[in-house]
């Protein structure tokens, strides 16, 4: 597995911590039919598989975040949620940076 692929994947321990942090529910609608697999910064843009970049979303909210015009609004909701959970949260630290 390449370093970038590994860095962007969500390890099981991160999923477990995020699941508990998010009270085992979608952070948008509150559904318990959800999973901690949504990247705030998408993997396609180098978003790391770290707690500060992962949230629990249900299928509908995850689809809306990834594929609809609601993305801009949902992005702000998720961003504010993560900032509330991590006082020193910094979006710039969520990107994969290739080591030289």
What the chain holds in terms of domains, given with CATH numbers, is 3-90 (1.10.30)
Output the pTM of the full model: 0.92
Q: What is the pLDDT of residue 14?
A: 97
Q: What is the pLDDT of residue 1?
A: 61
Confidence of residue 81 (pLDDT cuts 50, 70, 90): very high
Q: Helices 71-85 & 59-67, crossing angle to 10 degrees? A: 120
**70 near 57, Cβ under 8 Å?**
no
**51 near 18, Cβ under 8 Å?**
yes
Q: What is the pLDDT of residue 99?
A: 65
Mean pLDDT of 25-40: 98
């Amino acid at each position: 597995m390449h370093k970038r692929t590994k860095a962007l994947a969500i390890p099981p321990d991160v999923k477990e911590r995020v699941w508990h942090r998010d009270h085992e529910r979608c952070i948008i609608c509150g559904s318990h039919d959800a999973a901690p697999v949504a990247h705030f910064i998408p993997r396609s843009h180098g978003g790391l598989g770290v707690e500060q970049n992962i949230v629990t979303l249900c299928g509908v909210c995850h689809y809306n975040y990834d594929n609809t015009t609601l993305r801009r609004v949902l992005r702000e909701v998720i961003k504010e949620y993560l900032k509330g959970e991590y006082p020193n949260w910094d979006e710039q630290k969520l990107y994969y940076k290739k080591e030289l």
